[in-house]
Amino acid sequence: MTELAQTVAHEIGHILVGYGHPDEEKGPAPLHGTDRKLRIMHSGDGLGEITVDGLPRKPFRGNHLVEGEWDAAEAWLKNEEDEHRLP
C-alpha cells in the first residue's frame, strides 16, 4: 500500500510541477547539492533494486518535497478553494 501511495503522490506531483525529475537535471526545482534520492519526485533510476516476495522491485523514492513543489501544491489548493467558494 505504501508503494501505491508513493506512486500516486509522485504522479500528482507531475500535474502540479510539470514533467521531468530533479535527478535528471530537467525537472523543476532541482536544488543542486541536496540528496535527490530523498525526493518524492526522483525518477527512481539509479536507486538499485530490491526483492520482495522473490520479485524484483524498485526501492521507494524518498518523501521530501522542496519549497518549489510545495508552493505549486499550495497555489493549486488555493485556486480550488477560490473556485468553490460561495459568493
Rounded Cα distance, 49 and 28, in Å: 26
Cell of 77: 489548493
Q: Alpha-carbon Rg of the chain, whole angstroms? A: 15
pLDDT of the chain along its 87 residues, tens only?
A: 677 788 888 888 888 888 888 777 666 666 677 777 788 887 777 776 767 677 766 666 777 788 888 888 888 888 877 776 666
Overall pTM > 0.95: no
Rounded Cα distance, 17 and 78, in Å: 15
Residue type present at position 25 = E
CA 86 to each of CA 10, 63, 82: distance values in angstroms, whole numbers, following the listed order: 32, 35, 9
- Residue 79, domain extent: 2-84
Number of domains in the chain: 1
Q: Phi first, then psi: give them for residue 67, nearest 5 degrees.
A: -55, -40
